[in-house]
Amino acid sequence: GNPPDRYLSNVVYDARTIQGVPILTPPASGYGNQDLKNEEKHEIEFGWDNRFLQRRLGLDITYYNDKIVNQIMPLTTPATVGATSVFVNVGTMRNYGVELSLYGTPVRTKAISWDSRLNLSFNRNKVVSLMEGLDYLVQANIDNGSLLVRSKPGEAAGNIYLYKRKTDASGNYVVEDNGFYSVDYENLQKAGNIQPKVTGGFI
> What SS3 class is residue 51?
strand
Give tens-digit pLDDT for 117-141.
Answer: 999 999 999 999 999 888 998 988 8
What pLDDT is stored for residue 187 in this prediction? Answer: 86
On whether the CB atoms of residues 99 and 109 are closer than 8 A, the answer is no
The shares of helix, strand and coil residues in the chain, as percent rounded to the nearest 5, are: 0, 65, 35
Predicted confidence band at 18 (pLDDT cuts at 50, 70, 90)?
confident
Give tens-digit pLDDT for 166-202.
Answer: 999 998 999 999 999 998 888 889 999 999 999 999 9
Is pLDDT above 60 for 11?
A: no
Q: What is the mean pLDDT of residues 18-42?
A: 82
Question: Is 127 exposed, middle or buried, given 0-12, 13-18 or 19+ CB atoms closer than 10 A?
Answer: buried
Compute the mean pLDDT over every residue in the chain, rounded to the nearest whole number: 87
On whether the CB atoms of residues 116 and 201 are closer than 8 A, the answer is no
